[in-house]
Each structure stands twice: as C-alpha cells, then as structure tokens.
Structure 1
Amino acid sequence: MLWDTQHIPLVGGGLDYYPRYIANPAKLYQRLHDEVSWQQPKVTVFGRQHVTPRLLSFVGDSGLSYQYSGVSHCSEPWPECVKVVRDQLLLDTGFDFNCALLNYYRDGHDCMGYHSDNEPELGPAPCIASISVGAERDFCMKPNRPPRNTVKLRLESGSLLLMLPPTQQHWQHALPKRKGISQGRINLTFRTLI
C-alpha cells in the first residue's frame, strides 16, 4: 500500500515520490550488495569507450535483452529480494515490470550522466520505477527543450520514485558526483521491455 506520496508535476510528464517505500532499506541494501553479480562494462559515449562509472546488473524474465550506449545486456534471473520488490510494485502501482537495471554507486565518485530511458524496446511512453537504498543522493532532472529549469530531489534510502509516462520523452535525469559521500547506494530501476 502506498502512502506519504508527493506528486511532482512536470511539463510533459510527472513524478510520484514515496520517501519510505521499503520497510528495511539497510537489509535490502546488504542483500543486493552480497547477492547480485555486479559488472562494470565499457560503454560508448559520443563515439568513445569509457568504463561505466558505477557497477551494474541487468535482471528480469528469461530471454530479455536490453541495449544502451553500445552495450547489450542479457537478463540474469531475478534475485529473490528484487523479485519480491517487483511483485509489490505490481500490487501497489499496477505496473507489471519484466526487468530491472540495478546500479551500484560505491561512493560519491560513482555517477550517471544526463540521459532519458527512451530506448525503442521500452515503448513510446514507459513508466520507470526507481528504488533507492543506501546513501542519500541528489537526483537531477532537466527538460529536453528550453527553458531548462532543473528539478533536484534528495532521494532517501528506501524511497520509490515513479517517473510517469510520458516523462522520458521530454526530460533527462542524472545522478551527479558528490564529494564527501563515502557510503554506497544501490538503485533498482524497474522497466518493461516490449
């Protein structure tokens, strides 16, 4: 059951933020840290290869493949702790996610640049459900077209952020570097491949 919702309207989209969605975020963080097979692939950005500035894992239903930045990821089986969260999201939101991209930011140096989750296999207007556990970090958004007023949210450990359709068509999001953060953060971004 969802409670304590903050709706954030955006021009061409919107966000629903639930600061305390996960009852025991420290336990989930530790399970993800210990049980997930983390990788650090190279990606192509503006024609150049770079090591991903975070660790990641792609999990989901059998046989799924997801490609971005020149890297194709084949789904690993759902870890039980992630499957439980996925099933609860279906009950609470009605969105039936068939995969999740997991990102492990080891400290404040690990980051994610501005981008949209708008790959063709996500369909024209995807919903992305983002669960954060571990260190609080700033989540920034900016529109694709002027005026480029940014939105910044401090995502709490245990929070859920729903990026509602059609936000990905009109907005980009990022997790910038933050000095002074020595703790890790794990983010689960649930999505539906079609």
Structure 2
Amino acid sequence: MSENQNLLPFQGEAYFYPDFFSKSKSDFYFNQLLDEIRWKQEPIKIFGKEVMQPRLTAWYGDEGKIYTYSGITMIPHEWTPALLEIRQKAEEISKVRFTSALLNLYRDGKDSMGWHRDNEKELGLNPVIGSVTFGASRCFQLRNYQDKKLIRSIDLSHGSFLLMQGETQHFWEHQLPKVKNTVDVRINITFRVIK
C-alpha cells in the first residue's frame, strides 16, 4: 500500500507515512522521550474491574486540557521541547492544531492496548488522531465496529506517522496486540484535540 492511500475501505480515513522522521531524528526523539517523560503505570476499569494498564502512560498538553478514559482522569504536564517539535511536524500533515498528547511506553511484547475507539466526548464529533511511533515496530490493527471479521493490519515502524480522521472513530476500533516473540521498547504518541 502506497503512502497517502487510505487504509480503510469505507466509513473512515487512516493514512500512513512510514518515514515521517529520519532514522537519526527518530533515534534522538526516542532517547529524549524515554528519559524526560514522566511515565507511570495506572489502574483502569474494565467491565467494572480494576486492573493495571499493560503499558506506561503520560499525558502532556495545553493547560487545562484534561482527559478522562476508562476511569482515569489525566491532568496535562507542560509540553517538552521535543514534543513541541514532533507536534509541529504532525500538524503540518494533519492541518490541525493539536492541544494534547497521550504517550504510551510499551516495554516489551507483553505490553499492549486492547480493542477500543477514541470516541470520548472531549475529543469532539470526528476526532483527528495523529499517531507517531519511535522504537520497536509493532503490528497495529483496525477492525470494523459492525463487521468484526473486517480487519486491517499495519506495522507501525520507527519514525512513522499514522493519521486517523473523519468518521474513523465511529466505525472502526483499533488495538496493539500482545506478541510472543521478543520485542524491544516502543514509544507511541497520539496527538489529539481536546474540545
């Protein structure tokens, strides 16, 4: 599939840019974010039960841009210089001014993110999500919310950018599944607009 081609057959838009950042820039940002981001592991509620998230997270953004999901309320840390640089490049492609970023640190193949949609009310009607990956390449999947057999898979590689917009969060859910083989650390930033 070529760059800029919509990954979704209908009811949504997802565009993949595999070499969004050069390898040297990607290496730099990976090390910078690993060291300076205030990572933490928090409990979330799944079907009424509290469990620890299988990854580390952090929330950065404009002042007052609070985000709540799965029983967690996140207060933003102030943007770092590295995050501001990465955000600026993501905004050039998306033509959106992102107010916030959810960062995920996947320590190994056991760390994951289950099926979900980014459809919280704070994100507005048709959320634009700009997803940047640094570190290990991992398989990312999109599944049609009405036809669960319809799945699109793509490897999100070091320095890549995935843009989801339009009606994607209405009709498609996504996940980062666990993997059995040994996988190195991966950092993912999902830029968002909090209304």
- TM, length-normalised to structure 1: 0.95
Q: Which residue of 1 aligns with 2:170?
A: 169
Separation in 1 of the partners of 2:140 and 2:175? 6
Deviation at 1:4, TM superposition (A): 4.3
Paired residues of 1:6 and 1:18 also in contact (CA < 8 A): no
Q: Which residue of 2 aligns with 1:137?
A: 138
- TM, length-normalised to structure 2: 0.94
Deviation at 1:147, TM superposition (A): 5.6
Structure 2: gaps of 5 or more residues: none
The aligned amino acid for 1:40 is Q
Q: Which residue of 2 aligns with 1:58?
A: 59
Deviation at 1:185, TM superposition (A): 0.2
Calculate the aligned-residue CA RMSD, in Å. 1.3
The aligned amino acid for 1:11 is F
Structure 1: gaps of 5 or more residues: none
Q: Which residue of 2 aligns with 1:19?
A: 18
Deviation at 1:180, TM superposition (A): 1.6
Q: Which residue of 1 aligns with 2:8?
A: 9
Q: Residue 26 of structure 1 aligns to a residue in which SS?
A: helix
Q: Which residue of 2 aligns with 1:75?
A: 76
- Describe how 1:30-179 pairs up with structure 2 within 5 A: 30-146=31-147, 148-179=149-180
Give a deviation string over 1:68-120, Cα, whole Å, max 9, x none.
00010000101110111112222232111000000000011100000000000
Q: Which moved more, 1:128-137 or 1:8-17?
A: 8-17
Separation in 1 of the partners of 2:151 and 2:91? 30
Deviation at 1:146, TM superposition (A): 2.0
The aligned amino acid for 2:154 is L
Separation in 2 of the partners of 1:92 and 1:155? 17
Separation in 2 of the partners of 1:100 and 1:77? 11
Separation in 1 of the partners of 2:148 and 2:65? 37
Give a deviation string over 1:3-54, Cα, whole Å, max 9, x none.
9434323321021100000122111111110010001010001000000100
**Equivalent pairs: percent with the same residue?**
36
May I ask how many residue pairs the two structures share in their alignment? 192
Q: Residue 8 of structure 1 aligns to a residue in which SS?
A: coil
